[in-house]
Structures are given as C-alpha cells and as structure tokens.
Amino acid sequence: MQYAIINKDKVDDFITRLAVQEKVYAPVARGYDNYSFEEVTSGKNVVSGRYIPTILPPKKYFMPQRETLLEYNLTEGQNMNAVVEYEKMAIFGVHTCDLAGIQAMNMVFSEKPADINYLIRKNKITIIGLECIEYCDQNASCTLVHNHLPNGGYDMFFTDIGDSFFVHVATQAGEEIIEKTKVFYDADAPHMRLLEQVRERKKKIFHDEVPIEYHELPELFQKSFDSKVWDNLDSRCIACGNCTAVCPTCYCFDVKEEPDLSLVQGKRYRIWDSCQSEPFAKVSGGESFRKMQGARQRHRYFRKFKYQFDKYSRPHCTGCGRCTRACMAKINLKETLNALIAEHA
Amino acid sequence: MKKVILKDSKYEIKKGRVVSVRQMTDMEKLFEIALPGNRSLDHEPGQFVEMSLFGVGEAPISVSSSPTKRGSFEMCVRKVGKFTNALHNLKAGDEIGVRGPFGKGFPVKLLEGNDLLFVAGGLGIVPLRSLINFVIDNRRDFGKVNILLGCKTPDDMLFGDEVENWQKRIDVSFNCTVDRSDPDWKGNVGLITSLIPGVTLAPNRTFAVVVGPPIMYKFVIGELLTKKIPSRQILVSLERHMKCGLGKCGHCQIQNYYCCQDGPVFSYDKIKNIKEAI
Ligand SMILES: Cc1cc2nc3c(=O)[nH]c(=O)nc-3n(C[C@H](O)[C@H](O)[C@H](O)COP(=O)(O)OP(=O)(O)OC[C@H]3O[C@@H](n4cnc5c(N)ncnc54)[C@H](O)[C@@H]3O)c2cc1C
Ligand code: SF4
Ligand code: SF4
Ligand code: FES
C-alpha cells in the first residue's frame, strides 16, 4: 500500500495503537500558542491539525541537547568506553520545514568524518510527516526555501484532505506501521484528486514571502558581508542564544566533562553551544575573530544562507520562523532578508 | 534510553604515555609522548592532536616534533588554564589520551626543491619546528633555508639548544630578534617584521612559512608581498577555538572553511579574501 487513507476520527486510535509498539513523540499544545514535541501514549492531546512550529524542533531527538560520548574510569589510567545513547521511536506530526531541518542535519553528520552517534540514532527513528495546508503564522518563510511542499525525508506523510488524511507510505517502516495499526485503507482515484486540489490551493496561499529567488540567496549574501544591516543587529542583539537553540539546522556543540563525586569515574559529553556567545570563537591569546555581536549575527545568517548553501547545495534555513518567534530583541529573519535585499539587490 | 558501547567513535582516545617532561620556560613544558608499542603517530608536519585527560578535558595541541622522529612525538604546551595546568602536572610514566592527528599540515611535497623562509613568532615556533626539523632531516630535498625567529624577551626563547644548532649549520641561515632585550642579549631588538627586508631571496622559488600570534600575520605578510613572494607561496597556520577536530562542532569555522579539517595550514591566496581569517 503506497498511498493510504485514514479517517480523521481514527487518528487518536492510530497514535494509541502505535504507542503500544514503540515510543511515540508528537506535538502537544503548551499554552500561549506554544507547542512542543513530547512523548504521548494516546492520541488524546496530540495536535494533528494546524500548529505553529514547536518551541524546539525534532532535532532534539536526533541530537540530544546533552549527549554522553565517553564513559571513563581512572582506576588504572585513562580507560574509557565510547558510547551511543538511542531510543527506538516514532515522531508523529513533523512539518515539511522540520523534515528539511532533519535532512540538513543528516547531510552534516553523514559527511566524512561521519558522526556515528548521530547516524545510529537517526536509524532508530521513524518519521511521520504532516503537511501544512495554511501558513502557521506570518513568521514562516518556507516557500522561499522550497520547504512548503514535502521533499521526502519521511517514512509516512499525512495530508489533510477534508474528512481524512491522505498518507504517502514511503518506506518499509511506514508499511509495517500500516500493517500493525490496522486503521488505514487504500487510497483511490477520488482521494488522489482531493490531494491535487489541496496542493493547487496551497499554490495560491504559499508564495513569495520575501522578494528574492531561492538560487539568488547565496549571491545576495556574497554581496552583504559589509552591510549596514549587521551594524543594526549589533546594537539590538543581546546574545541570548535563543535563535540558535531553536533553529532546526543549528548543531554546534561544546565538549565537556562530568566527573562523579569520587573523581574516579565520569563522562565526557557534548552539549548544544551557540555561535552567539562571546567565547565561542575566542582563541588562546584572547583574540576573538567575531568580537562584535553584529559579526556573530552575520555568521549565523551566513551559515543559513551562504556557507552551508555552498557546501551542501541547500540553504540551512528551513523557513520555520522559530528564530523570529524566539528572539528577545525582536530580530526578524524576514525583515533582515528584506533589508539586505533593499540594500544590495 | 538505550546505551551501547561503540567500537569506532571518532571521540575515542588512544592511550599515550608520557616518556619525558622538560621545563622550557616558566610557562612552557615539552612533553614526549609514546603510543602503545611505540607505534608512530604518522602525522604530517603542522598537524595537531586533541590531547585529553579524563576529568579535566581536551585541548588541541600541535605536534612539535618532525615525523622523521619515530616511536614517540613531542608537544610543547603553554600553561594558560585548566587543561594546560593539569597537563603541566604530568610526570614521566603517566597516561594521557590522544585523538588525531587532525587537519592539513604543511604540503611538504610541494615545498621540495624550493627555497624556504620560515617566520616564527612566539609560540608559532612550536608547530613550525615539526617542519623545520623535517626539512633539516631531509636537507638535500630543499633549496636555501632561512629561519627568522621572534620572541618577547630572550627568556621566552624556546628550544634553545636546537636553535643554537640551526644557527651553527652551514646549510641554514638563521636570524632572531626580541621585542625587549636584556644585558646579555647580543642579537637583534625589534619586531620580527624588521628582519624580513634584510633577507635576500628569489621570490619565484621561495615558499614562506609563517606561524605566530594572529596580530603578526598582517604585518609579516605585507613584508613578504613587498618582497614579491606570490601569495600562493605564503603558507600560514591559523589558530581557532576547537572542540571536535572533525568539522562538526562549528567552533573553528572561518566562512566556508573548517580550520580543524581544511587547515590549520592554509596558503595565503586561499584566505586572503576571506574576512575573519586573519
Ligand atoms: C590547532 C591548535 C594548535 C595548538 N597548539 C598548541 C600548542 O602546541 N601548545 C600550546 O600550548 N597551545 C596550543 N594551542 C592552544 C591550546 O589549545 C589552548 O591553550 C588550550 O586549549 C587552553 O586550554 P585550558 O583549559 O588550559 O585553558 P582555558 O582556561 O580553557 O582557556 C585559556 C585560553 O585558551 C583558549 N582556549 C580554550 N579552549 C580552547 C580550544 N579548544 N582551542 C583553542 N583555544 C582555546 C581560551 O579562549 C582562553 O583564551 C593550540 C590550539 C589550536 C587550535
Ligand atoms: S534560521 Fe530561523 S527560520 Fe531559518 S531554520 Fe533557523 S530558526 Fe527556522
Ligand atoms: S534570539 Fe535574538 S537577541 Fe537572542 S541571540 Fe538570537 S538574534 Fe540575538
Ligand atoms: S573543531 Fe569542531 S568544527 Fe573544527
């Protein structure tokens, strides 16, 4: 069954049945228009309709905020075991922007020297996507970066076609879920037409959030290194690091130690880090190559639209809008892009 | 959450053993490290390792010995903080963790047959020594060799006995300068840049290899360009904060480059238009 249908009143049932077999994580409402991916055991609180991207993206399951790399024991010298922590799980309700975020992370961690901790964990995660049929809010810029439509990266993908969801079953893992949960039936030609209508309607809603073409983005940034826009951000940004913590494609980390009380055993772990913090790029003599906050913001934007674009042939901004929503200083990604365009395009 | 032991993690350490420790100055010690079975590190001159002490942490440190020295390697470490302090407490026989070698070192094959001008400022001599000694051990393969060394005061001079040997050799010309002299100092006083105009060289077949504190590069490179050395033939080794050595943690990123994988050695023409590089 490559294309399946599930009636909307069966979605709760689906999640409940799935949760009997493995851990399931799904978006849950957390008040004040906030959502969060959390473990669920039934479909009761799961949001399967419109939701604003969760506070943290699903990257938290692929690259945990804190992850043990080595466990050591010093009784007889520098002895250690390298470890990986993982969990078999399914994530339900992943938007197309977040699928793109996971794809970006996959590229980075698969590139040699590959990061096997990440790759092992990734292979234990089943991804069930969910299409947005309206904009989540005005902060999204997913069309600009071609992420408003699904580009793969899922095992199953749900699209709302009215009374039911149209489900693209893309992998064996997806097929097994269909068989085990027994709440799906085959899609037929009228369902296909409904799907096409949804996509046609989307074309009218989703377009041109920012007046520039996808392929022109690296060139815009090429010209923008000395832009006044960065000076403006310099005076506003307070280096809280929220923008990088919530970004689905930020993966910088620090490596730290945690000795236990005996000081004989302990762990070496990695933990999310932010290029917005002042010591991030400082070297031994005290020299810093990005002293100013504006330069650190520029680095963040260039990592989204230039450096990683050059290296991986895709922008590392998914258009999710999280950085804008989370910014303490109301720094707005679309406004920044507009200002760069006004200055340079 | 399941936890399993990994066999091929890039964060795994090799166990090294401290063979000897030598106090070089108040702040610097030279450590000789052997790997199990006295296996060679197999590094290129200019590469670095992540040294590790469990309970304290890790730090990137340049390999200071030449790959021609087999069976053990050396590193020279300045005491500046938590990790380097702990390192300074090690004695011969202690164990230490090693990851690496990492990064791109000096392109020795490219240098063969050419004249070399070494410019080392301060601690820059530490990584440069791996190449200088490599060149001296393979002296026939290279043209004229010119070494310029600069340090703050005569007491800061590292590798004094080796420097004396370079000074004595007829197949190496050597000059050195200090920022501040003392009554016993007989050499030059002044910045390292002041030594460059006095060097006679054939720019077309000279590679200049420059390593020192960030501030030094702009001025030294300016002098070298005045000497008409093509920017392709100027090699530098850049320092950045590093955590993983694997091109992932993001700390060492310089625009499109990751210093830990694409560097630390770069030819100047690659980075001259890269802002935030020097
Ligand atoms: C490629 C490379 C080669 C190096 N080679 C040598 C060497 O041969 N000898 C030597 O003495 N030092 C070398 N260093 C510098 C050395 O890594 C730092 O001095 C060391 O990490 C400081 O650690 P700490 O815990 O003792 O000090 P901290 O208390 O952690 O910090 C002291 C200072 O070192 C800087 N620093 C801290 N961690 C790092 C890091 N991971 N990378 C770079 N800077 C850092 C801090 O910003 C601060 O200014 C090298 C650095 C790099 C990147
Ligand atoms: S830069 Fe902002 S909009 Fe783009 S992916 Fe990151 S958080 Fe989302
Ligand atoms: S969230 Fe806003 S204020 Fe905080 S570091 Fe990012 S841009 Fe600066
Ligand atoms: S040290 Fe981590 S990316 Fe270079």
- Taking residues A318-337, report their average pLDDT: 97
**B214 pLDDT tier (thresholds 50, 70, 90):** confident
Q: Is B44 helix (H, G, I), strand (E, B) or coil?
A: coil
- Burial (CB count <10 Å: 0-12, 13-18, 19+), residue A166: buried
Q: Which chain A residues in 85-104 lie under 8 Å from chain B, judged by CB atoms? A: 85-87
The fraction of chain A above a pLDDT of 90, given in percent, is 92
Å between B104 CA and nearest CA of chain A: 14
Q: Could you tell me if B35 lies within 8 Å of chain A, comparing CB atoms? A: no
Q: Could you tell me if B242 lies within 8 Å of chain A, comparing CB atoms? A: no
Cβ-based neighbours of A240, under 8 Å, separated by 6 or more = A276, A328, A329
Q: Is A165 helix (H, G, I), strand (E, B) or coil?
A: strand
- pLDDT, one tens digit per residue, over A149-184 is 999 999 999 999 999 999 999 999 999 999 999 999
Cβ-based neighbours of B195, under 8 Å, separated by 6 or more = B148, B150, B175, B176, B177, B188
Residue A46 DSSP code = B
Q: Which helix (H) or strand (E) holds B24?
A: none
Residue B181, pLDDT score = 87
Phi and psi angles of residue B185, each rounded to the nearest 5 degrees, phi first: -75, 130
Residue A1, pLDDT score = 66
Mean pLDDT (chain A) is: 95
- Taking residues B247-257, report their average pLDDT: 96
Which of A118, A150, A110 lies closest to A312 in space, CA to CA? A110
- Burial (CB count <10 Å: 0-12, 13-18, 19+), residue A12: middle
Contact assessment for residue B65 and residue B73, using Cβ atoms and an 8 Å cutoff: yes
- Burial (CB count <10 Å: 0-12, 13-18, 19+), residue A56: middle
Which of B238, B221, B255, B212 lies closest to B103 in space, CA to CA? B238
A69 vs B11: CB contact, 8 Å cut-off? yes
Distance CA A88, CA A21 (A): 10
Å between A172 CA and nearest CA of chain B: 23
- Please check the confidence at residue A19 and state whether its pLDDT lies above 70: yes
Q: Model-level pTM?
A: 0.94
- Taking residues B140-151, report their average pLDDT: 95
Q: For ligand 3, is residue A74 a contact (CB within 6 Å)?
A: no
Distance from residue A27's CA to the centre of ligand 2 (Å): 19
Residue B156, pLDDT score = 87
- Please check the confidence at residue B213 and state whether its pLDDT lies above 80: yes
A255 vs B243: CB contact, 8 Å cut-off? yes
B214 vs A287: CB contact, 8 Å cut-off? yes
A290 vs B58: CB contact, 8 Å cut-off? no
- Burial (CB count <10 Å: 0-12, 13-18, 19+), residue A44: exposed
Residue B64, pLDDT score = 97
Q: Is A29 helix (H, G, I), strand (E, B) or coil?
A: strand
Select from A81, A115, A266 the Cβ nearest to the Cβ of B5. A81
Which of A130, A204, A183 lies closest to A161 in space, CA to CA? A130
Residues of B with Cβ-Cβ distance to A304 under 8 angstroms? none
Q: Could you tell me if B22 lies within 8 Å of chain A, comparing CB atoms? A: no
Residue A220, pLDDT score = 95
- Taking residues B163-179, report their average pLDDT: 92
End-to-end CA distance of chain A: 48
Question: What are the helix (H) ranges across A167-253?
Answer: 172-181, 189-205, 217-222, 228-236, 242-246
Contact assessment for residue B121 and residue B223, using Cβ atoms and an 8 Å cutoff: no
Q: Could you tell me if A78 lies within 8 Å of chain B, comparing CB atoms? A: yes
Residue A283, pLDDT score = 84
Residue B43 DSSP code = P
Q: Which of B83, B102, B123, B249 to mutate to test the pocket of ligand 1 (most atoms within 8 A of CB)?
A: B83
DSSP string, A259-317: E-TTSSEEEEEEEE--TTSGGGGB-TTS-BS--SHHHHHHHHHHHHHTHHHHHHSS-S-
Residue B129, pLDDT score = 96
Cβ-based neighbours of B37, under 8 Å, separated by 6 or more = none
B6 vs A283: CB contact, 8 Å cut-off? no
Contact assessment for residue B60 and residue B241, using Cβ atoms and an 8 Å cutoff: no
Tell me the β-bridge partners of B173: B146
- The predicted complex's ipTM stands at 0.93
End-to-end CA distance of chain B: 45
Contact assessment for residue B186 and residue B211, using Cβ atoms and an 8 Å cutoff: no
